[in-house]
Structure 1
Amino acid sequence: MLITARRVSDGRPLRTRRHRGRPGPVHRSGFRATLPLMEPIIIDEIREDLSRRIAVAADRLAERTLADDPAYAALLGRTELRDRIHHSLAQSVDGLVRSSRGLPVELADARATGTLRAEQGLPLASLLRTYRRGGRLLWHTLTEAVTAHDPGALPRLLPLASVLWDVLDQMTDAVAEAYRRTEAARCDRDRERRAALLETLLDGGGAADGPAVSEAAAQLGLPERGRFAVVAVGPGAAGGVPAEAPAAAGPRVLWRVRSDGGTGLVDLGRHPLEAVRELLAPLGVRAGISPVVEAPGDLPRARWLAALALRTVPAPAGTGAALLDERLPMALVAAQAELADRLRQVVLGPVLALPAEDCRVLLGTLGTWLTCQGSTTLAAQRLYCHRNTVSNRLRRLEQLTGRSLSDPAHVVELSLAHTAYLQHPASAALRRPRPRRAP
């Protein structure tokens, strides 16, 4: 304390005392509050009555929380919640006393609470709302206790208000930080667990009707019998797929995303298979969709069929979702790469040997004619040329290949060979025989 002197009217010095302020807690803004020197502080004088009032306050807050918040009511009983609230309020008072004396606030219990509630799945909003209510209730309890002790002592409590709010902020921050850290770790564990379950179902981690498959399906919330499909997404586009498509957007889709593409397990329920294509449309990806299967044990084969359907979508610039059952001839060619290559060379070899531009024109005309269901007139309209031009090109193609477009068997060969060319145009170009030089 500082001793100061002043003189009164008779000239004698009068000794008076002036309190030296002492530093209080450092707030998050960096400002350090200065508390008046009070020994003992008012909390020490009312501690016994305050302890009794805090117990009553904990009862009131527990009842209100259980009545207002279904999440708490589903998680904790009244006694357990009341005990936790009582402990938290007592910790807040202890933090107030420590902070007023320049000591750090103990936050271990607050962090433990945040971790526990995150693991239990209590919403963070519920947890923080109870902490805020507890802070307001604690201040009200403090003022009641001081008033009952000595109404004239209330001014001694007021300097502690800012200290209490800072303590409550520290505790709330500690709770929220621990909660978010735990929740992030839990989400990582959930993703890893779901990925392992999807591996079991999509890659055939056991017998089709084995316990591993049944357990994986049950843990993912899939029925033992239902309507399922698999989606295969091309590489480079899987980053646009969500972890799980919301149920409101259509059928439920569980995604497995890798660097070489994505695979989606679709629980169709009552949705038609076409709904999967509608769900994929906004993503702008290349995708193949398997036929419907009825049991989780059939999903590995459905995954293979979806990958086959994906190979019927032109790459790399092509987009769109292909239903396998709509592209069976193309899928047949894609499934037998060696035979497809042989078919392409045997049927279209003389055309592929032409100069690149001639080859492109003839095969483009053939593709358009096939798309137009054999109508030369419609093909000419799409190619912006005269009908006779289309006829001449097709006649030349018949001469080169030795196949007649009026023979259904030959049309099938040409169509499949053309599909093989579209799926691997670069390969066809590489295999094109080089023209011989004149001797």
Structure 2
Amino acid sequence: MHNVETSGQTSRWSELVDQLDGRLDELAQTFTTRVREIPEYGESQVTVQEITETARETFRRLIRGLKNGRGEGRDGLLDFASDLGSKRARAGIPPESLTSAVRLDFSILWAELLEIAKPQDAILLASRVDQVWRVVDEFATRTHTSYLTERVRMAQEESSIQREFIARLFNQSTPSVETSAQVGSALGINPDSRFALVAASGEPGARLRAAASQFGSSQHSRQRLFLHESGGNTYVFWALTSVRSRGSGTRGEAHGTEAAAQQLPPGVVDVPCGYVPEVLGLRALPAAARTAESLAALLRPRDSGPLSADSAWARLAQQNLQDAGLDLAAELEEALADCKGGERERLLETVQNYLTTGNVTLTSEQLFCHRNTILNRLNRFQELTGIDLAVPASAARLVVAWA
């Protein structure tokens, strides 16, 4: 068989590998020079001395693997690879940078072999290239696997620590400045920043947890989500990237709500939940959580996204009045009970439209009625119910009653 290696070739291979073993310092120096060209290594906390020492030990073990194939020394090589992967993960080296660094091992070893070999060694090198690649590839695979395992462990450890600090924050009705500062440090955020918070339970709560899982790492630092769970409720909060817009009147309020809504993360924007769009600092989050929980209790089947106090204040007022034994809607029904024919429906349609527009002319145009007809209906409604829609406090009763 042409691929059977002779004893002379085996002996020559041992000689070449021995020469490699005598060039460990040169191999390590070459590796150090080239790996420092990778930006993440050049800027990392891994010192030049550590890189050089690790490279020397790596090549020593790789060369031992070349001497013994898959036999003696393989376990030591792979154990060293596991330790190296863990170290680089803890040093914060990005995975692509680690891959680039490990790939250097083969090219440097092979270049050194070509340099020390003679022309007549060409056939021998061709027959041994697979062995060199296999040894280096095993080392690289184990290093990468260990790196990923360590990264997962670190993420789990970081997540556990963060959950403890978040729980400490939410378990206090009014957290101290010291607690706020500690939590901010643990989460890597400014404790005095502005935040938004949502709350939900059941299936919507599960969707919030999924969103927090997807956007909870520092890799999504542009809008990183933080999770807290308590009493069957799921709370998610995040730092706002800009101050919510403010203005006077309805136009300014609408613009502010729109600006806040634009900051809703993709995984939250379509989840029915209670929503507090602006929270002033970490210390205010527990109170905001209670508000969001109350808003979540007001959700209705037709709601398809976060519900804020701006859009649900009437529902909230209605609920509080009902809890106090006052039912405005029932009072209105009783006041309109004597209406005959379709009068009740016409009055309700007119009043509801007027509450939306605040303008008699617009109401008449939308209902295709004469302006005087609209005025007559509004007067009739006042006569039956005692509610003057020109008085804001009276009109507010209707908004709450029909929330």
Corresponding pairs, count: 379
Pairs within 5 Å for 1:63-78: 63-78=33-48
Q: Distance in 2 between matches of 1:360 and 1:73?
A: 74
- Residue in structure 2 matching 1:302, options 272, 277, 288: 288
SS in structure 1 of the partner of residue 176 of structure 2: coil
- Tell me if structure 2 keeps the 8 A contact 1:230–1:266: no
What is aligned with 2:398?
414
1:191 aligns with 2:153: no
What is aligned with 1:38?
7
Q: Distance in 1 between matches of 2:349 and 2:157?
A: 52
1:202-245 CA deviation, whole Å, 9 max, x = no partner? Answer: x2447521533321122223334344443446852534565259
Cα 1:394–1:142 change in 2 (3 A) is: same
Q: Distance in 1 between matches of 2:217 and 2:105?
A: 39
What is aligned with 1:317?
302
Cα 1:65–1:109 change in 2 (3 A) is: same
Q: Distance in 2 between matches of 1:200 and 1:69?
A: 39
For residue 348 of structure 1, what is the amino acid of its counterpart? L
SS in structure 2 of the partner of residue 263 of structure 1: strand
1:384-411 CA deviation, whole Å, 9 max, x = no partner? Answer: 7777886787677656645454555433
Consecutive unaligned residues of structure 1, counting only runs of 5 or more, are: 1-19, 22-33, 420-439
Cα 1:66–1:415 change in 2 (3 A) is: same
- Tell me if structure 1 keeps the 8 A contact 2:167–2:228: no
TM-score by length of 1: 0.70
Cα 1:159–1:406 change in 2 (3 A) is: closer
- Tell me if structure 1 keeps the 8 A contact 2:197–2:235: no
What is aligned with 1:430?
none
Kindly indicate which of the two structures has a greater share of residues assigned to helix: 2
1:123 aligns with 2:94: yes
What is aligned with 1:109?
80
For residue 147 of structure 2, what is the amino acid of its counterpart? Y
What is aligned with 2:108?
137
Which structure is higher in RCO with an 8 Å CA cutoff and minimum separation 6?
2
What is aligned with 2:54?
84
Cα 1:52–1:287 change in 2 (3 A) is: same
Q: Distance in 1 between matches of 2:220 and 2:155?
A: 22
- Residue in structure 2 matching 1:97, options 67, 82, 103: 67
Note the aligned Cα RMSD (angstroms): 4.2
Q: Distance in 2 between matches of 1:290 and 1:50?
A: 66
1:211 aligns with 2:178: yes
The Cα of 1:308 is off from its aligned counterpart by 4.4
The Cα of 1:349 is off from its aligned counterpart by 4.6
- Tell me if structure 1 keeps the 8 A contact 2:173–2:286: no
SS in structure 2 of the partner of residue 256 of structure 1: strand
Consecutive unaligned residues of structure 2, counting only runs of 5 or more, are: 247-255
Pairs within 5 Å for 1:157-176: 157-176=125-144
- Tell me if structure 1 keeps the 8 A contact 2:17–2:66: no
1:246-297 CA deviation, whole Å, 9 max, x = no partner? Answer: 99997x4533276855422334555647433112286334455437554422
Q: Distance in 1 between matches of 2:140 and 2:28?
A: 17
- Tell me if structure 2 keeps the 8 A contact 1:281–1:321: no
1:141-167 CA deviation, whole Å, 9 max, x = no partner? Answer: 1233333xxx53443333111111122
- Tell me if structure 2 keeps the 8 A contact 1:206–1:212: no
SS in structure 2 of the partner of residue 342 of structure 1: coil
Q: Distance in 1 between matches of 2:14 and 2:217?
A: 58
SS in structure 2 of the partner of residue 122 of structure 1: coil
TM-score by length of 2: 0.75
- Tell me if structure 2 keeps the 8 A contact 1:225–1:294: yes
